[in-house]
Amino acid sequence: MAKQQSRGTESASGTPGTKTAPVRPATTSKTSIFAEGRDTFIFTRMNFIFFGVGLLLVLLGLAAMSGGQQPDPNTWDESIIYSPVRITLAPILIVSGFVAVIVGIFKK
C-alpha cells in the first residue's frame, strides 16, 4: 500500500510535517515612487533648486523671528519684541519659502 501525504506538508528536504513558505515569482518588480519611467526621475535639477531656495527662505525667516530677550528683566522694551523684522519680514520670508517649495513640487 502506498502512503498518502497531503499537499504542502513536506519540505524540499523531504521531512514530513514541515511547511515551506510560498515563493513569489521573480517576474514581479516594485516601481519607485520617485520614477515615472525606467530611467527618468519625476523631479529635475530645477525642482531641487526650488526646494533648496524654499528651505533657505524658511530658515532665514525663522532666524529673523528668533531672539527677543530683554536686556534687563525689570524693564519692558516693546521695540525688541515688536520690531518690524519680527512682525513683517520674518513671516514674509517663511511664506515665500513655502511658496517656493510648492512651485518646485508642481513645476514640470
pLDDT in tens, 83-96: 899 999 999 999 99
How many angstroms separate the Cα of 106 from the Cα of each of 23, 43, 55, 72? 40, 9, 16, 49
Residue 62 is assigned to a structural domain of this protein: yes
Domain assignment of residue 101, yes or no: yes
Evaluate whether residue 30 is within a structural domain.
Answer: no
Q: Which domain holds residue 52?
A: 45-68+79-106
pLDDT of residue 87: 92
- Domain assignment present for 53: yes
Residue 4 falls within a domain, yes or no? no
Domain count, the chain: 1
Which portions of the chain are predicted below pLDDT 50? none
Assigned domain for 9 exists: no
H helix or E strand, kind and range, residue 47: helix 45-65
Q: Give a yes or no: residue 60 inside a domain.
A: yes
According to the model, what pLDDT value does residue 68 have?
Answer: 79
Neighbours of 44 (CB within 10 A): 13
Residue 39 in any domain: the answer is no
- Looking at residue 80, its pLDDT comes to 83
Under DSSP, is residue 41 helix (H, G, I), strand (E, B) or coil? Answer: strand
Q: How far apart are CA 61 and CA 83, in angstroms?
A: 14
